[in-house]
Each structure stands twice: as C-alpha cells, then as structure tokens.
Amino acid sequence: MQIKQYRSTKDLSAPLPEADLVLVFGGREALAAMDYAALSGAFPQGIIVSVSTAGEIVQDSVYDSGLAITAIDFHKTTLQTARVAISDHADSITAGRILVGQLPAAGLRHVLVFADGSLVNGSDLTKGMNQALPEGVTLSGGLAGDGARFEQTLVGLNGPAAHGQIVAVGLYGERLSIGYGSVGGWSSFGPERRVTRSQANILYELDGKSALGLYKQYLGDLAGQLPGSALLFPLSITVEEHKKPLVRTILSIDEGKQSMTFAGNIPEGSYARLMRGNFDSLIDAAGEAAASSLPDAPQPELALLVSCVGRKIVLDQRIDEEIERVREVLGPEAVLTGFYSYGEISPLGIVPGCDLHNQTMTITTMREL
C-alpha cells in the first residue's frame, strides 16, 4: 500500500497516478470551490470520494474549512463502489439495503460508507446495510459534517459533492487486514429517564414530560444557544439489544413541537441519561479507540479517523491532543486521515454488525499482508 497526502489541489504537482482510492475531506465551501478537473486529472484511475466535514484530520493535526486529500494505491486489494440518493428511497433503511445490493458479494472484506449528515438517518442506514451485508463483512465510516452550523452537508463519488448522497466503497481481498475501535469517554450524570414518546430520531418526551424542557433546565444559561450548546451534553441511550449504551447527539430543535432531532434513533421504551466529558477523559478515549483498532497484524499502514463535532467543540484548543494520543498508540508509520462528523459508523465491541455512534472517536485501521 502506498499513500500520499495533499492539503489542496495546488499541491498535486507530484501526484500518485496509480492511486486506487482518493479520499477528499473538506469544509463545505472548500469542496464547492475545489478544482475537480485538476483532481480527477491527477488521479485518472482513482475512485474519488469527497465528504464535507466539521474539521479535517491530516497526520497529527486538525484543520478547519480546508481540504485533506489522501491518495491510496492498494497492492493486494480491489475496490467496488455504490451510490444512492436518499431522495430516491422511502427511508434510510431501504437506501442502506439498496446501497449494499450494488456491491458484488464475492470476496467482500469491508465496506466504507459516507452519507449526508443532514438528511440521512444514520441508525436506519446502518440497519439496512447490516441486513444486506454478507455474514462476516464489517462496515465503518461516518456522516458528513458542516462545521457547527448544521445547515447542509455534501458527499460525492467521482464528481462534485452534492446534497443528499450516500456513497459506499467495497474493499475486496484476503490480504487486507482491518481493525476498528470506537470509544467516547463521556460519563453519565443525573437521573435515568424512560423515553415515553419518540419517533425514529425525534425525541418528544422523557418520563412523560417535555424532553426539550428538561434539556433546557440542565443547560441553564446555555439553553439560548441550542442546538449548538447541546453538543456539550449528549444523551446516553440504553436499549435492550445492546450490552453497551449508545451515545446520541442533537442536530436540531423544534420549539413549536417541543421536540429534539438527534443524529440517531431514540427508541420508545429505552432509557436516557445526560452525559458530559472532560478534556482528559475524551483524549484518553481516543487512545482506547486506537488500541481497540489494532488487528493481529503489526503496524497499520492507514488509519481512518472519524470523530464527532461535539468532541471538537469541547476540546477546542486541545483538539490536536486526541489525534496525538492516537499517534502514540498506532505508531509513527501509520498514515492518519479523517474528519469530524455528524455521526460515526463502526462495530461496537463484540456486538454483531455495526451501528451509528455519536460523540466518539472511531478508527478503522488497514494493512495489506
């Protein structure tokens, strides 16, 4: 596996012409203004996937509103792609099943998925993909971001990035070693409350009371800064089929309906608690995710990091420290790339399949054997 990274299309004077996969992570405006002709000309054989972000990860640093271009030349792995528009399907579950159905099943080892973060229900997308994936095939990726604005996100495949797209890249071959890890580092506080009224990813009531009203009580002076301030206090959701709680982060609020829309589903009958984090616990969690992502093979060649916009807001000036902690664990030779997202997709521990996570550091490591 050979990998090169670039910070703009102007840096492509010495491209990797044999690249099989080109990952482009960038701010929404940067993607819209990107010279796509120059990019595709530099990588004539490459599959080009572009994703808008809430921050870009290049090696040991985090950048804002720029471009992070990672070109990967696989030596023993082949690729197939799939794409759907969420507007063409009844729901995200159906979109997920159809997306996987476009990928040949024979030899499929792993799937990377990148989806619109403002229109796609990430929980339902992963549910549909899990239903269609062959047994033993893993899945990871994330939902596109738009800084802390939550206005519009973009995803593209072999063309300019657009609204409402979902893209999958299938990785094929027995010589590809894959590892994954996903850890949050948040701690729960306050009483556990039962979800008494919800619909998919929209939460209305906790213990029969307005969920938005309860949230505002806890936020205090920060309530006027919703929905952005809610990134500091995600929800821990415990549902019957999961041994570990899932973390959910808020995307928007509706004052008229007294509801909150989250990046993933909030099932009725589940139990919710508020969460908070501190600098050290979040940074330590990034290291734990890195340790979990190490497969049996030594020294990964590539690590795809998908972390949450909420972590970035909390860590603020210390944001580079969570990337540095990952570097300490994965070693100096691994190439790090990734982005800050509106939702992270990864397996969770020993639970079969994968799920949508919020407020986590999620890492996928790769090495060709």
Q: Which of 259, 262, 274 is nearest to 218 (CA)?
A: 274
pLDDT score for 25: 98
Is there a contact between 195 and 302 (Cβ–Cβ < 8 Å)?
Answer: no
pLDDT score recorded for residue 249: 82
Residues 177-203 as b or e (16 or more Cβ within 10 Å = b):
bbbbbbbbbbebeeeebebebbebbbb
At 346 the three-state DSSP class reads strand
pLDDT along the chain (369 residues), means of 10: 92 84 97 92 94 96 94 97 96 97 96 95 93 93 92 95 97 94 89 94 95 88 82 84 74 90 89 88 95 83 95 91 96 96 82 78 95
For residue 20, count CB atoms less than 10 angstroms from its CB and return exposed for 0-12, middle for 13-18, buried for 19 or more: buried
Q: Structural domain boundaries of the chain?
A: 2-183+280-368, 187-276
115 vs 96: CA distance, rounded Å: 10
pTM, entire model: 0.90
- CB of 38 closer than 8 Å to CB of 9: yes
Q: What is the pLDDT of residue 243?
A: 58
How much is the pLDDT for 242? Answer: 53
